Structure 1
Amino acid sequence: MKSPAISPTTVLAEGAAWLLAAVFAYTAVSKVYDWSGTLRAVKGQVFQDWMTVPLLYGLPILEISLAVMLLLPKTRRAALGISFILMAVFTGYVALVLTGIFGRIPCSCGGILSSLDWNEHLIVNLVLTAIAAIGWIVQSHLTKLKQPNPL
């Protein structure tokens, strides 16, 4: 029996989802694994002190939740949209850091990005933001194709 062909758009949407899921899962696990380093990194940012605890606990929870949602077909479209928004916010923050608006360069993030400077961090974030946007657009198109025609 011949298996059905998988369309390139399906591969693109699923590839984006799996890549983002891997990135979010890795960053969440690395934050939890190096909890004291994560605490130092969050405290080293330009945020108000009251934001430390919500960011410290909230980011890994959000990242793991998104990773799971990205892997589930029923939640993939929403997760890609949320991923785009989250990556756009992260990218905007990095861009603001690079403008010097905060008066100082905060310490870098943990995990794989700890070895990158802020310019390289911006490039990685821009690429991931684009992947999330493309994945969301393609997944939205695929979702529309699967919906029954009301006429």
Structure 2
Amino acid sequence: MTQIRINQKHTIATICTWLLAIVFIYTAVSKVYDWEGTRRSLYNQVFPIWFAEALLYVIPALELVIAAMLLSKNTAKSGLLLSVILMALFTGYVGLIMTGVFGRVPCSCGGVISSLGWGEHLVFNIVLMGIGVVGLIRIRDVRCETRN
């Protein structure tokens, strides 16, 4: 019975890592594919141009690094933790935009996700963050149970 529970938890953790990896790969590739659109979108955000220019390079690279970590058995747990942190940052930013902290609402992200409104974007980010948390819990559970 215990082996079945461990396998189920491992399967759930694997599904979580793959879902997040697919999202991060998609978003990174779409940002690079539409480089000028991504640049315009970042320049329209509420932070300074120098910061937007840095994010233009950092975000896709970070998304690809996290995706690679998620797909590696040795770094999946760290990848999940970084996913949750990154999604929390994105979610916090969307929340601040929605509450009017910045005084204006900039345009949204690139790719298919650009068709989402800010409320939908917030929900999407929260769901992804939840997937990351579930993955972290399941990986921890699997490692704890296999040690016993």
**1:38 partner amino acid:** T
Which consecutive segments of 4 or more residues in structure 1 shift more than 2 A?
143-147
Write out aligned runs for 1:27-106 (5 A). 27-106=27-106
The 1-side partners of 2:23 and 2:143 are apart by 24
* Cα offset, 1:143, TM superposition: 2.5
* Offset of residue 146 of structure 1: 3.8
CA distance in 1, matches of 2:139, 2:132: 10
Q: Which amino acid aligns with 1:61?
A: A
Q: Aligned equivalents of 1:134 and 1:84: distance in 2?
A: 10
Question: What is the rounded CA distance, in whole Å, between the counterparts of 1:46 and 1:141 in structure 2?
Answer: 41
Identity of aligned residues (%): 50
Task: Indicate the SS of the match to 1:46.
Answer: coil
1:97-125 CA distance string (max 9 Å, x none)? 00011000011100121101101100100
Tell me the TM-score normalized by structure 2: 0.93
* Paired residue type of 1:80: L
Distance 2:95 2:123 in 1: 10
Gaps of 5+ in 2: none
In terms of fraction of residues, the more helix-rich structure is 2
1:144 is displaced (CA, Å) by 2.9
**Partner SS state of residue 9, structure 2:** helix
In the aligned structure 2, how far is the partner of 1:62 from the partner of 1:91? 16
TM-score normalised according to structure 1 size = 0.91
Tell me, in whole angstroms, the C-alpha distance in 1 between the residues paired with 2:64 and 2:53: 17
Partner secondary structure for residue 74 of structure 2 = coil
Distance of 1:41 and 1:84 partners within structure 2: 23
- For residue 133 of structure 1, report the CA deviation from its aligned partner: 0.8
**Distance (Å, rounded) in 2 between the aligned partners of 1:145 and 1:45:** 46
After TM superposition, list the pairs within 5 Å mapping 1:3-42 onto structure 2.
7-42=7-42
Distance in 2 (CA, whole Å) between partners of 1:87 and 1:78 is 14
CA drift at 1:145: 3.2
Aligned to 1:73, the other structure's residue is in SS state coil
> How far apart are the structure 2 equivalents of 1:146 and 1:50?
48
Q: Secondary structure in 2 aligned to 1:7? A: helix
Residue identity matched to 2:64 = I
How many pairs align?
145
CA RMSD of aligned residues (A): 1.5
Distance in 1 (CA, whole Å) between partners of 2:127 and 2:21 is 15
